[in-house]
A = this chain, B = another copy of it.
Amino acid sequence: MEVDDDRSPRASSINANDIDFDTVNQSRTERQTLRENSTELLVEEIRERSRQTQWQLNYQEAAIYLEEGENNDKFDTHPRDQSALPAYEVAHNRWFHLLDLIAAILVLLVAICERPAIEYFSLPVGIHASLEMLGLLILSLELGIRFKWVGWRAFFKHKRTVIKSCTILFMLIESIVVLVRQTSHFRVTRALRPLFLIHTYYCRGVRRITRQILQSLPPILDMIILLLFFMLIFSIFGYYLFSRNKDDMYFSTLEKSFVNLFILLTTANFPDVMMPSYNQSKFYSIFFIVYLSLELYFLMNLLLAVVYDTFSNLEKTKFQKLLIHKRIGCQHAFKLLVSDQNQHQLHMKHFMGMMKKYHPSKSRRDCYLVFKCLNTSNTGWLSLEEFYGIYDVAGVSWKLKNEDRIWSSSFKHPFNVIFKAFNTLVRFKWFDYVIYLVIGANFLWILIETIRLSAKSVNLANYDFTASWASIVFVCIYSVEVIIKILGKGPMEYFTLGWDVFDFLVTVLSVIGVLGERFENSFYYVIVLRPFRLLRLFKVKKRYRDVLGTLFVLFSKLTSLAIVTILVYYFFAIIGMEMFLNVDLKNCCKNTSVEDFYAYDNNSIFHGYYYLNNFENILASGVTLFELTVVNNWFIIMEGYAVRVSQWTRVYFMLFYIVMMVVMNIIVAFVLESFLFRIQYRRQMKLDDMDDDSVYRVEVSLSEEEVDMCEKPFSILSGHLIQLQAQADQPEPYVYKGERSRTKDDFSIKMYGDEVKTWLLEMEKERTSIIESMKGLRTRQRPNSLNLEQNGVSEQLEVNC
């Protein structure tokens, strides 16, 4: 039985402004007199219209709540009234996000063409300052819209936004100064530009990792203090022990002693730092062995352990918070979608209305399938518990199960047979083995060819690099394989599988390489890309699949990490450029131990070339900073600037080392965590291969009537058929299959299954207890403040979680 359930929507926080719904309800006495005037119909129409408007608003707000839950946006930035809605929609538009991202990147890239610019990219001051200004203005536009939508309170409560506003203001003033003076001044504030990129929508992952790094700083700092404490004690020790030796310049003062032990922590000056005292007595080596064992092999490993523990704990907490945040989003949305008459069940009609706002591109059939999939109780109404599942199912892409044949079966006669043959061939086990054999042969061939070339000491400049017949044969085989696979599997399936895409790219590159060899001789080095193709061989063994699988699965997160690293580099590069711009390192450091590295006289055979490690433009700075990251011989670069500029420049280099140490530890912890999660998940679920489990699958079957109902464009969908079928218990003819790839959250839910249950139980308990305690209060308050109250409840819940 279907009940008309759109009488009275529950009050949304976004009130319909055009027609005051409350007053319409309240003025009942007035209306009684109106009725006698027989204008009753008009009033009814007005009421009906206002009701519909209110429902539409509710749908939209529910969709917004669901989005906020998904994106982990705070609910206190939720648009408070209808006038804020357009700003909200603009701010959450894809194109606007893109514009924001482009502006942020533009501001970052200005560093390439402003002084010190990269060769060929240098632009006049007027142009690059204007470009920067343009970028900054677009970014402030974003801020303005945000201000409009969240209101000034939430705006100033949100720390990140405030910092961004201040930075933009400051930078705008600076770029005006630059424009007016027509020359760049000492602008270290440019180092803050990465903030804008972090703030953009598409850099959510970057933001998350930045937050995790900041949150794991306190324990890391503790450990670094311990490290520095030991370093200080050892440097006092070392000073007393070695300063009597006049040959030993490493410990002649306490300051030198400390600096050299700091460098020793990175091992970069070992064993040199030991040699003078080792020459005096062999037993002095004990000092260094103890120092390194304690600091490098014990404390640094503990630092890693601390970082790993903090990091994996944060991951779990974050997962828990997100899960509960999503649930609260669902609760908010659910509250807006049920009517006052039936507060515990959600009608199909309202669900469809909401889905139209939430996933506008979904067809009616898909939405119906989502509803039916959620409605496990088969009542035709969704309960809150069932509605919680929406995040799992909403993103699924549906298709008919008997469509589950190869892509080519709908082709015309001769082709479908041929393509089917290809398909069979591709799925044939020996097909793969033959390909592996070919790859192996190819590798051996390349290796032997190179060894022969190297043994003959042919100068490669004169060597004819035209592709040999063998390389052409191999590339042909690969191309044929790729074509067969694409035709057999169909492009859709082929280009969604990581390994196949990899194969495709490598093959295309090989073809380009061979063609390049044919047409231009200098294009020779592309041929060396071919051996990478051999990575496919590693698919054979499970451990390698794990390793490379980790690489594929976590590519997006690794990218975020890489972006974070690059932004840190950017920060330090700007500071480095401002400080060391016109320092020439050639032949610096005369009469020090690093003299040779900076030698520049064309006489010596062995150039150190270290004067190349400078800060002359943003890219060169990047490479220099990478060298500092790798740590080996980093002190030589530091020495150069310490001698040329000031002893205090060491602070810059040491600070960079400590920051990179933290970032590197986070990277290690991250790789560790991801890999261990993957392996432990596989072990716990007793899976042979992660790939088997990487797709989330659901199945829903529809009856004839349901399909009819979905296909009629204007019919009102309802849930009564679901209930009827459940009673009839007949098999339904149309089986739909829904699939989407699993995210890490899906895995986490399975992995921490028991814990998840406890968290949710606790959350429910807390929620009901708060609602219970509210009930007492509520009776004394006016009834339509209910919604606000319950907002309060869930905010409190958020704080507690």
> Which residues of chain A (449-464) have a CB below 8 Å from chain B?
450-451, 453-455, 457, 459-461
Question: Which residues does chain B contribute within 8 Å of A605, judged by CB atoms?
Answer: 591
Question: Which residues does chain B contribute within 8 Å of A275, judged by CB atoms?
Answer: 607-610, 612
Asked, given contacts A240-B460, A267-B632, A620-B282, whether A672 binds B304 with beta carbons under 8 Å apart, the answer is yes
| Beta-carbon contact of A268 and B632 below 8 Å | yes
Binds B, one of A178-186, A342-350, A371-379, A542-550: A542-550
Distance between A70 CB and nearest chain B CB, rounded to angstroms: 30
Asked, given contacts A609-B275, A631-B267, whether A671 binds B301 with beta carbons under 8 Å apart, the answer is yes
Distance between A709 CB and nearest chain B CB, rounded to angstroms: 50
> Which residues of chain A (650-672) have a CB below 8 Å from chain B?
664, 667-668, 671-672
Secondary structure dominating the interface of A: helix
How far apart sit A240 and B450, CA to CA, in the bound complex (Å)? 9
Residue A131 at the B interface, CB < 8 A? no
How far apart sit A672 and B297, CA to CA, in the bound complex (Å)? 11
Distance between A600 CB and nearest chain B CB, rounded to angstroms: 11
Residue A685 at the B interface, CB < 8 A? no
How far apart sit A61 and B360, CA to CA, in the bound complex (Å)? 79
Q: Contacting A541 at CB < 8 Å: which of B222, B460, B528?
A: B222
Residue A707 at the B interface, CB < 8 A? no
How far apart sit A532 and B632, CA to CA, in the bound complex (Å)? 30
How far apart sit A544 and B222, CA to CA, in the bound complex (Å)? 8
Query: Residue on B with the closest CB to A256?
Result: B454
| Beta-carbon contact of B459 and A244 below 8 Å | yes
Query: Residue on B with the closest CB to A292?
Result: B630
Query: Residue on B with the closest CB to A597?
Result: B272
Residue A254 at the B interface, CB < 8 A? yes
| Beta-carbon contact of A239 and B630 below 8 Å | no
| Beta-carbon contact of A305 and B672 below 8 Å | yes
How far apart sit A609 and B285, CA to CA, in the bound complex (Å)? 14
Distance between A477 CB and nearest chain B CB, rounded to angstroms: 20
Asked, given contacts A460-B243, A543-B219, whether A593 binds B606 with beta carbons under 8 Å apart, the answer is yes
| Beta-carbon contact of B538 and A671 below 8 Å | no
Residue A162 at the B interface, CB < 8 A? no
Question: Which residues does chain B contribute within 8 Å of A236, judged by CB atoms?
Answer: 446-447, 450, 528, 531
Question: Which residues does chain B contribute within 8 Å of A627, judged by CB atoms?
Answer: 270-271
Binds B, one of A225-233, A319-327, A383-391, A694-702: A225-233
Question: Which residues does chain B contribute within 8 Å of A502, judged by CB atoms?
Answer: none
Query: Residue on B with the closest CB to A255?
Result: B454
How far apart sit A292 and B667, CA to CA, in the bound complex (Å)? 14
How far apart sit A460 and B297, CA to CA, in the bound complex (Å)? 32
- Interface size for chain A: under 10, 10 to 19, 20 to 34, or 35 or more residues? 35 or more
Residue A613 at the B interface, CB < 8 A? yes
Residue A99 at the B interface, CB < 8 A? no
Residue A433 at the B interface, CB < 8 A? no
> Which residues of chain A (541-573) have a CB below 8 Å from chain B?
541, 543-544, 547, 550-551
Question: Which residues does chain B contribute within 8 Å of A450, judged by CB atoms?
Answer: 236, 239-240, 254
| Beta-carbon contact of A302 and B446 below 8 Å | no
| Beta-carbon contact of B667 and A270 below 8 Å | no
| Beta-carbon contact of B532 and A233 below 8 Å | yes
Residue A525 at the B interface, CB < 8 A? yes
Residue A761 at the B interface, CB < 8 A? no
Residue A278 at the B interface, CB < 8 A? yes
Residue A534 at the B interface, CB < 8 A? yes
| Beta-carbon contact of A531 and B619 below 8 Å | no
Residue A483 at the B interface, CB < 8 A? no
Question: Which residues does chain B contribute within 8 Å of A595, judged by CB atoms?
Answer: 606
Residue A736 at the B interface, CB < 8 A? no
Query: Residue on B with the closest CB to A246?
Result: B459
Residue A117 at the B interface, CB < 8 A? no
Residue A330 at the B interface, CB < 8 A? no
Question: Which residues does chain B contribute within 8 Å of A155, judged by CB atoms?
Answer: none
| Beta-carbon contact of A305 and B632 below 8 Å | no
Q: Contacting A626 at CB < 8 Å: which of B289, B593, B610, B680?
A: B289
| Binary CB contact string for chain A from 272 to 305 against chain B (1 if under 8 A, 0 otherwise) | 1001101100100100010010001111011011
Residue A679 at the B interface, CB < 8 A? yes
Residue A676 at the B interface, CB < 8 A? yes
Q: Contacting A531 at CB < 8 Å: which of B233, B267, B460?
A: B233
| Beta-carbon contact of A229 and B534 below 8 Å | yes
Query: Residue on B with the closest CB to A606?
Result: B593
Query: Residue on B with the closest CB to A451?
Result: B254
Question: Which residues does chain B contribute within 8 Å of A219, judged by CB atoms?
Answer: 543
| Beta-carbon contact of A240 and B525 below 8 Å | yes
> Which residues of chain A (708-758) have a CB below 8 Å from chain B?
none
Residue A579 at the B interface, CB < 8 A? no
Residue A524 at the B interface, CB < 8 A? yes
Interface centre among A253, A279, A630 (most CB of B within 10 A): A630
Residue A675 at the B interface, CB < 8 A? yes
Residue A703 at the B interface, CB < 8 A? no
| Binary CB contact string for chain A from 223 to 262 against chain B (1 if under 8 A, 0 otherwise) | 1001001001100110111011001000001110000000
> Which residues of chain A (678-693) have a CB below 8 Å from chain B?
679-680
Residue A527 at the B interface, CB < 8 A? yes
Question: Which residues does chain B contribute within 8 Å of A239, judged by CB atoms?
Answer: 450, 454
Question: Which residues does chain B contribute within 8 Å of A632, judged by CB atoms?
Answer: 267-271, 632
> Which residues of chain A (603-645) have a CB below 8 Å from chain B?
605-610, 612-613, 619-620, 623, 626-627, 630-633
**Lowest 9 A-B CB distances belong to which pairs?**
A275-B609, A254-B454, A305-B675, A267-B632, A237-B528, A301-B671, A233-B531, A271-B627, A253-B454
Q: What are 7 pairs between A and B in contact, CB < 8 Å?
A: A222-B541, A222-B543, A254-B453, A289-B626, A301-B671, A305-B676, A593-B606
17 more contacts with CB within 8 A, not counting A255-B454, A267-B631, A279-B607, are: A222-B543, A236-B447, A236-B528, A239-B454, A240-B525, A240-B527, A243-B460, A253-B454, A267-B630, A269-B632, A270-B632, A270-B633, A276-B609, A282-B619, A298-B551, A305-B675, A632-B632
